[in-house]
Each structure stands twice: as structure tokens, then as C-alpha cells.
Homo-oligomer: A and B are copies of this chain.
């Protein structure tokens, strides 16, 4: 006997879950569309070379799902969408109007040990903005990210922590005098700081070769970056960029609410050294019990180089559906529950076999007027039918009783109040509205 469970680390979407997912993503889509972003999509199988070229080694060697097709071509199931986006933009580079504002909500797969918030398959909103003035673009993408939460009425529950990679490079290189390799390793330690605890963290920095003075300088940058003007980076390019970035978001979008207040500078946001080149950010739930990053992104360069196209700088982020749903269940449980409910407005009930065509014709009329209408597909009697209507969450029932049909009428029953009205077929649509 076969199992009825889905493959480990992946999810079935039964109808109630599918409705919640659709609601959640429709809110997201509406926001992204409001910024003029265009949705794209692509096959989830790609030649494996696409990932070997640019994705991290760990991902390709340990997490990729790959297969060989019957023509001996090695393919991979996409573990992320960015390489596909780059392929597609490169494919129509000349004809695409710039700036390119694109988004997609693909499912992506990685082989990992399933745990809370980390599945083998998840859906991921990918937002990318290629071209245009970098800081104007960065401010747009940050505001868009805030607006996604604003659309759920929850932007106060989120904080975007922003940094700039030029500033990080400046501090690591010019101020602290670290080599690129040491900087790389220090970044990994900073990312793991909370896991390690302060003592192990400081010890590890020492083992890496940082002097006590360098460690002190690093800590002072990470904890109070602008407290001392003598730190030698207050006029660095990355700082100027951050100041301008914040000024672009310094206006009220609603009485007493500014984007620049939802976004804070945090020098500890790193997001790996290789990929990003300017603004980087991570979004955090402000609730202390859920302090993992919800999502993040940043500015990258030269993504199209693999396809022989000109350098083009872009800004983007990826937001997983699992984290977003957890966030909504924490802060808007009622909205989530409401979204999962109901697929039927009206149940048309006719217990007599000879009324079936009439029942079909009434159901069709109501469907054509915009209602979601079911029929019980049986002639068992009103009692059974009304129970069925209730199980399916119908709000109204239309009853085709013998007496009423003989008079050219039907009964409309409000299933919430129990109230009955006898109406002609023609009055039905109006009464339901």
C-alpha cells in the first residue's frame, strides 16, 4: 500500500492551506505590481552549469537535486531563482526597457535536513531592479519591502536593518588593516556571533590573527559606529551612501509614519562577502521570540557577465513563504484563519429527480452572476442537503420544494440566521446580493 504523505521536507497544499497561500501571495503581488514590477516565470529544470558557475560550492555539491535526462544532459532543479533571472535578462538584454523591474514567486529546492522554517521545497518571492541610479533604486526596493508588511497592516512589527558593503570594506581594509582573506573569515564569525557567545567569538577573532586593538576597533564599529568621529570612516563613501539612502526615505507615507523609521543602520549586517557590492539589508520581526532574519538582500554587480553581457548593477531580495506565513500567524492569526475559510456561497438543493435540470439552470444563473455555487449531486432530501451545505461552508441554500416549484418559486434560506424567503427565480440574484 502506498503512503499518502508527501516527500519529506515538501508540503501538500490542501484547499484551506492553498487559500491561505493564495491570499498571502496575492497581497504580496499587489504591492509589487504597484511599483510597476513585472512577473516572469521559467522552467524549474535548468542545465546544471547555470549553478556550477555562480552559486556557492556547498549548494552545488551538497544541496542540489540533479538528474540526467534521456539525452544525457545533466539538469538541476533550481535551488534559487537569481541565475534563471540573469539568464532571461541576458537573453533579451537589448530589447528590455531599463530599468528592469522584475519579480517571480518560484518554488525552489534544496536537499537539507527539514526543520522549522527550513524545508526542502519552498516558495520564494524574488524582487530585482536592474539599472537606474543605485541609491534611488535601493531606496525603492527597501520601501517596497516595508510596503509588503504595510499591506498586511503589520509594518510596525518589522525592522529593516541596513548596511553598505563599501563601508564594511573600508573599515576592514583601510581602518583595521585586515587582508581580504581575514576579512572574509571575520565576516563569518560576525554572522555566527550570537551562536558563539561573546567569549568564544572574541577568542576566535584572536585565533584568526586580529590584535586586541583590531578587535576593539571592530567591536566599536559594530556596536557604536558613529559615536566617535575619530574612527576614520565618517566621510567614507559607504557612509555618504547610507546618509543619502535614508534621506530618500525621509518623508511621511502616513500621518506620523516615515519609511526612514522602519529602516535602521546596522553595521553588523554582512550577508557574505563575495556577492554584494553596496547596500545590504535584512528584515527582522521585532518580536523578541522570533528574532531570525525574515529575509534579506542587497546590491550586486555583473550578474550577466556569465552570458557575455555588459556589467549591470542590480538590487534585489528573496523572501520565503514559510517565514512570511510564520510571521503572519504570529501577528495576524485572525486574518490567516479567515483566508483559509470557505469555497462555497450558495448550495442549490433539489431532492426530486425531475427538478435536476431546473436545479442546474438556477445554479448556472447564480454562477454567471458571480456566486460560487454547489449542488449536492443527490436526491436524498433537504435534511441531508442542508448538512452538506453546512459542511462545505455555504452561506445560503436555495431549496426547490415541490409546492414552490409548482408556483414558479424557490425558497432562499440564510444558513447563518435560518431565515427563509420565498422568491421567484428572477428575484434570487438581487436577494443574494
Q: Contact residues of A with B, CB < 8 Å?
A: 1-7, 10-15, 18-19, 21-22, 31, 33-47, 49-50, 53, 62, 65-67, 69-70, 73, 75, 77, 87-88, 90-92, 97-99, 101-102, 107, 109, 111, 121, 129, 131-133, 136-137, 139-140, 143, 147, 247-253, 306-308, 343-344, 356-358, 360-361, 364-365, 367-368, 370-379, 388, 391-392
Contact in complex: B12, A249 (CB < 8 Å): no
Instruction: Tell me which residues across on chain B come within 8 A of A109, comparing CB atoms.
Output: 45
Contact in complex: A358, B137 (CB < 8 Å): no
Contact in complex: A375, B15 (CB < 8 Å): no
Candidates B39, B77, B91, B308; contact of A22 at CB < 8 Å: B39
Sample 8 A-B pairs with CB under 8 A, ordered by A number: A2-B87, A19-B39, A31-B367, A97-B388, A140-B360, A248-B360, A250-B357, A253-B365
Q: A4-B307, A10-B45, A249-B360 are known; give 17 further A-B pairs, CB within 8 A.
A: A12-B40, A12-B42, A14-B92, A19-B39, A21-B41, A33-B372, A34-B370, A35-B372, A36-B344, A45-B65, A45-B77, A66-B67, A132-B378, A147-B364, A248-B357, A253-B361, A253-B364
Instruction: Tell me which residues across on chain B come within 8 A of A250, comparing CB atoms.
Output: 357
Contact in complex: A372, B75 (CB < 8 Å): no
Instruction: Tell me which residues across on chain B come within 8 A of A133, comparing CB atoms.
Output: 377-379
Contact in complex: A49, B2 (CB < 8 Å): yes
Instruction: Tell me which residues across on chain B come within 8 A of A357, comparing CB atoms.
Output: 247-251
With A4-B88, A14-B40, A43-B6 as contacts: A377 and B248 at CB distance below 8 Å:
no
Instruction: Tell me which residues across on chain B come within 8 A of A129, comparing CB atoms.
Output: 377
Distance in Å: Cβ of A165 to nearest Cβ of chain B: 20
Contact in complex: B248, A7 (CB < 8 Å): no
Instruction: Tell me which residues across on chain B come within 8 A of A391, comparing CB atoms.
Output: 97
Bound state CA distance, A187 and B260, in angstroms?
70
Candidates B2, B19, B360; contact of A307 at CB < 8 Å: B2
